[in-house]
Structure 1
Amino acid sequence: MQNKEPRHLITDYQRIHPVADDVETPPPTRPRVSFRGDPAVHRQVPLGPTTAAMPPALKPPKKRNCWCKCLCWTVSLLILLLIIVGATAGIMYLVFQPKLPKYSVDNLRISDLTLNFDLSLYARFNVRITAENPNKKIGIYYELGSHLSVWYKDTRLCQGSIPRFYQGHQNRTVLNVALSGQNQYGRTLLEALQEEQQTGRIPLDLKIDVPVRIKLGQLKLKKVRILGTCKLIVDSLSTNSLIRITSSACDFGLKL
């Protein structure tokens, strides 16, 4: 009898408070969802958290690189500046119609051509040059620092400079320039010149390098240089007499 009472008590306790492990839990029912379009169609919706399709997240717009933006602005400003400069230059060209000055060698005189005791050759030339400004609205300031020189082939015989002056519109100015110099290879040079003199055609080059400033109306531009060469053919090298220039060809340009 003592052994049956405890078994009976355990049985009653289990009936009143059933153990979760001994009782099967019925599966959860799935609610039916009806669609408005067709009431007869039902859909089983599973329990638990739903995994509804979310739209893809929009990427934030990319920020422009500051360097690229600065480069674009710089290029745009440069293009605009070039357009402005080009338009200004075109207008000034139409208004002033600039032309290069013209130069010619009128005569040449050799005042001294002496072979010294040290076999160096001393030469002194006097050159008369005509400078013509053909522009109607442009003046020319001839600045200091000019260089004129007479060459025989690749050897410089003498050099000099022109004075500082202003040349007005459509003006013609005659310049008398004294050139002097000394060459250490005098004997060889003098012999070559004497051989050329026998032919009556002695080639000489007059090279010109002159700094000038252009005046447009009341505006004075920055300094530029006039560079050129006059190729001369003379008949002799007699001293203290005018030398006949049989041929002369001058070519000049402007260097900014």
Structure 2
Amino acid sequence: MVCFKKRNTIKNKKQKIIMADQQKIHPVVDVEAPPTAPLVPQGSAMSEKGTMSTQQQHPPLQQPNKDGYCSCSFCKCVCWTISVLVLLLIIIAGIVGIVYLVFQPKLPKYSVESLRISDLRLNFDLSLYARFDVKVTASNPNKKIGIYYEKGGRLSVWYTKTKLCQGSLPKFYQGHQNITKLDVALTGQTQYGNTLMNALQEQQQTGQIPLDLKVEAPVAIKLGKLKLMKVRILGECLLVVDSLTTNNVISIKASNCRFKLKL
């Protein structure tokens, strides 16, 4: 009798367990759905064996810009070059300023003392032949500067825009505060002399004949014992004479001279 009761008790317990399992709700699994990857927390990474390992994230390092380096180097090179040039200009300006203060350079002065026409005639080919004798005074007003007049200097006489004659200046050295008188013979032959001679004769009747005397002289400056590079003296004297009579001293009524240096 006791065994029968125990069997009924065990049977009742099994029935209760089966009924409890039936009351549970089991989720339905979709067999056709693709497998989902496991969620990985931020900052973690999966290892080859499937285990997760946490890695510390760092911002990516910026790569150096080669173009930036090149442009920076180029800018530095340009700045250094400009600085050197500015420094050289300052040094040169300082040297020129010192030289100017020490030597106080002045342009030489020139004047036409006399003009004489030795010959002025028409040739058989109707060209005009002219020979002038000009006396020029050259003055060096500098106290510490000498002037070397080199070979190749020219002196010419023009009427309007036509060159009548020209001659060569002598080669010589002019010392400090020196005055030198130069006698220069000018000769020349001009085409269309008949027309030019008629114009000169008509101008002579007025008693005022404009002539243009031009000077071009290569010179070298001497500072103390130092001879500097060659420069050119360019000059022009606008003259007004009373006549062009040959073999007579011509009166110079007006003279306006100006000169400049050219490197």
For this structure pair, what is the TM-score category when the shorter chain's length is used for normalisation? 0.7 to 0.9
Larger Rg: 2
Distance 1:119 1:48 in 2: 119
Q: Secondary structure of 1:250's partner?
A: strand
Distance 2:98 2:53 in 1: 79
Instruction: Map 1:129-144 onto structure 2 (within 5 A).
Output: 129-144=136-151
Q: Secondary structure of 1:190's partner?
A: helix
Instruction: Map 1:82-97 onto structure 2 (within 5 A).
Output: 82-97=89-104
Q: Secondary structure of 1:131's partner?
A: strand
Aligned counterpart in structure 2 of residue 220 of structure 1, from 227, 241, 250: 227
- Structure 1 counterpart of 2:216: 209
Distance 2:157 2:53 in 1: 104
Q: TM-score, length-normalised on structure 1? A: 0.79
Matched, 1:145 2:152: yes
Instruction: Map 1:61-210 onto structure 2 (within 5 A).
Output: 62-65=68-71, 66-210=73-217
* The 10-residue stretch of structure 1 (71-80 or 91-100) with the greater mean CA deviation from structure 2: 71-80
Q: Which amino acid aligns with 1:250?
A: C
Q: Secondary structure of 1:63's partner?
A: helix
* Displacement of 1:53: 3.3
* Displacement of 1:72: 2.9
Q: Which amino acid aligns with 1:81?
A: L
Q: Secondary structure of 1:119's partner?
A: coil
Aligned counterpart in structure 2 of residue 230 of structure 1, from 234, 237, 261: 237
Question: Tell me, which stretches of 5 or more residues in structure 2 are unaligned?
Answer: 1-43, 46-50
Q: Which amino acid aligns with 2:151?
A: L
* Displacement of 1:110: 0.3
Matched, 1:54 2:61: no
* Displacement of 1:185: 1.0
Q: Secondary structure of 1:199's partner?
A: coil
Distance 1:113 1:155 in 2: 15
Deviation readout 1:4-35 (Å, 9 max, x if unpaired): xxxxxxxxxxxxxxxxxxxxxxxxxxxxxxxx
- Structure 1 counterpart of 2:3: none
Distance 1:119 1:58 in 2: 91
Deviation readout 1:227-246 (Å, 9 max, x if unpaired): 01000000000100110000
* Displacement of 1:75: 1.9
Aligned counterpart in structure 2 of residue 252 of structure 1, from 229, 237, 259: 259
Deviation readout 1:187-208 (Å, 9 max, x if unpaired): 1000000000000000000000
Q: Which amino acid aligns with 1:194?
A: Q
Distance 1:215 1:208 in 2: 21
Distance 1:89 1:127 in 2: 37
- Structure 1 counterpart of 2:13: none
Deviation readout 1:208-233 (Å, 9 max, x if unpaired): 00000000011111010000100000
Deviation readout 1:24-69 (Å, 9 max, x if unpaired): xxxxxxxxxxxxxxxxxxxxx9982324331442544753445444
Distance 1:130 1:55 in 2: 89
Q: Which amino acid aligns with 1:158?
A: C
Q: Secondary structure of 1:49's partner?
A: strand
Q: Which amino acid aligns with 2:56?
A: A
Distance 1:163 1:254 in 2: 19
Q: Which amino acid aligns with 1:237?
A: L
Structure ranking higher in helix proportion: 2
* Displacement of 1:79: 1.3
- Give the alignment's Cα RMSD to 1 decimal: 1.9
